[in-house]
Amino acid sequence: MSDAVRVNLMSKLKRNPLRQQLIGHDFFRRIRSESYSRQQSAIFIGQWWHPLHYFPTFLARSVAQFPDIQSKSAAARILNQETGEGNPNRAHEVIYVESMRLAGFDLQETTEMPPFAETEALVASYAEAAQERFSALGFIFATEVADLAMVSGIGESVRRTTGVRDLEWVAIHVEQEPDHVEQADNSLTQEFSESEEIAILASAEQMWGRWIAFFDRLDREVFATSLVSAS
pLDDT tens for residues 148-173? Answer: 888 898 899 999 999 998 899 989 98
**Predicted local distance difference test score (pLDDT) of residue 178:** 77
**Predicted local distance difference test score (pLDDT) of residue 225:** 57
- Count CB neighbours of 38 within 10 A: 16
User: CA–CA separation, 73 vs 187, rounded Å?
Assistant: 8
Q: How many alpha carbons lie under 13 Å from residue 152 in its C-beta half-sphere?
A: 13
User: CA–CA separation, 222 vs 31, rounded Å?
Assistant: 9
pTM of the model: 0.90
Angle at 157 (CA atoms; ends 110, 53), nearest 5 degrees: 30
Instruction: Give residue 30's domain range.
Output: 3-230
User: CA–CA separation, 207 vs 130, rounded Å?
Assistant: 12
Q: What are the phi and psi torsion angles at 172 (to 5°)?
A: -70, -30
- The strand ranges marked E within the chain are none
Three-state SS for 115-165 is: CCHHHHHHHHHHHHHCCCHHHHHHHHHHHHCCHHHHHHHHHHHHHHHHCCC
How confident is the model over 94-119, as pLDDT tens digits? 999 999 999 999 999 999 999 999 99
The tally of domains found in the chain comes to 1
What is the average per-residue pLDDT within 76-91? 95
Residues above pLDDT 70, as percent of the chain: 94
**Predicted local distance difference test score (pLDDT) of residue 2:** 46
92 within 8 A of 169, measured Cβ to Cβ? yes
- Count CB neighbours of 79 within 10 A: 18
Give the CATH number for residue 145: 1.20.910.10
User: CA–CA separation, 115 vs 70, rounded Å?
Assistant: 34
Reference 30, options 153, 147, 146, 118; nearest CA is: 153
Q: For the chain, what is the mean pLDDT?
A: 89
